[in-house]
């Protein structure tokens, strides 16, 4: 997250090139050049009539505001959303387990496949352990034969 500063004086222009309907105010946008960490970035078509504007430009998410209070409020809201998501992690993990159980009850063939996979994984582990044990026994036999000769 970075703070940038506008380096040009944007001139609002109509968002659409069509004339506005009678009595309707036409939405306006601005193109900004923002300086952050000695680099400049162009952000185009940002709403000109809002205190806070969200945009995805140049592949990055952007929040722009001309008011310190408005951007502070937006940041507090974003922080709260992130805290809510982080605090709900355990709940959602437990729900995933419950969903899996229900799916296994609804589809017994899934339970059977899962059991087969667990059995295969157990057999693979046992085979690996046996292979290591056999290799250790072979090495011990070589050492014993070498000592006897």
The SS3 assignment for 67 reads: coil
Alpha carbon separation from 145 to 133, 136, 138 (Å, rounded) = 18, 14, 10
Measured CA to CA in angstroms, residue 53 lies from 23, 70, 141 at distances of 25, 10, 75
pLDDT at 134: 96
Bridge-based pairing state of the strands 39-47 and 60-65? unpaired
Residue ranges of the domains in the chain? 5-67, 90-148
pLDDT, residue 83, reads 96
Q: What is the pLDDT of residues 64-105, one digit of tens each?
A: 777 889 889 988 998 999 999 999 999 999 999 999 999 888
Instruction: Identify the band that residue 4 occupies on the pLDDT scale cut at 50, 70 and 90.
Output: confident
Q: What is the pLDDT of residue 112?
A: 86
Other C-beta atoms within 10 Å of 102: how many? 10
Tokens of residue 95, six digits: 């729900």
Q: Is pLDDT of 47 > 60?
A: yes
Q: What is the DSSP string of 102-148?
A: HHHHH-HHHHHHHHHHHHHHHHHHHHHHHHHHHHHHHHHHHHHHHHH
Judged against a pLDDT cut of 70, whether residue 15 lies above it is answered with yes
**Choice between 11 and 132, residue whose per-residue pLDDT is larger:** 132
pLDDT at 34: 84
Average pLDDT, the chain: 86
Task: Please state the pTM of the whole predicted model.
Answer: 0.52
Report the range of poorest mean pLDDT among 49-53, 54-58, 121-125, 143-147: 54-58
């Amino acid at each position: 997250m970075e703070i940038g500063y506008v380096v040009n004086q944007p001139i609002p222009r109509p968002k659409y090139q069509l004339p506005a309907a009678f009595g309707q105010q036409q939405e306006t946008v601005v193109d900004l050049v923002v300086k952050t960490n000695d680099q400049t970035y162009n952000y185009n078509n940002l709403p000109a009539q809002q205190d806070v504007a969200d945009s995805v430009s140049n592949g990055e998410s952007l929040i722009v505001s001309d008011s310190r209070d408005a951007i502070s409020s937006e940041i507090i809201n974003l922080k709260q959303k992130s805290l809510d998501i982080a605090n709900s992690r355990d709940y959602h993990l437990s729900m995933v387990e419950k969903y899996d159980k229900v799916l296994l009850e609804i589809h017994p063939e899934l339970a059977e496949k899962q059991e087969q996979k667990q059995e295969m994984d157990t057999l693979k582990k046992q085979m690996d352990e046996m292979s290591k044990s056999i290799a250790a026994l072979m090495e011990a036999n070589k050492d014993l034969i070498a000592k006897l000769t």
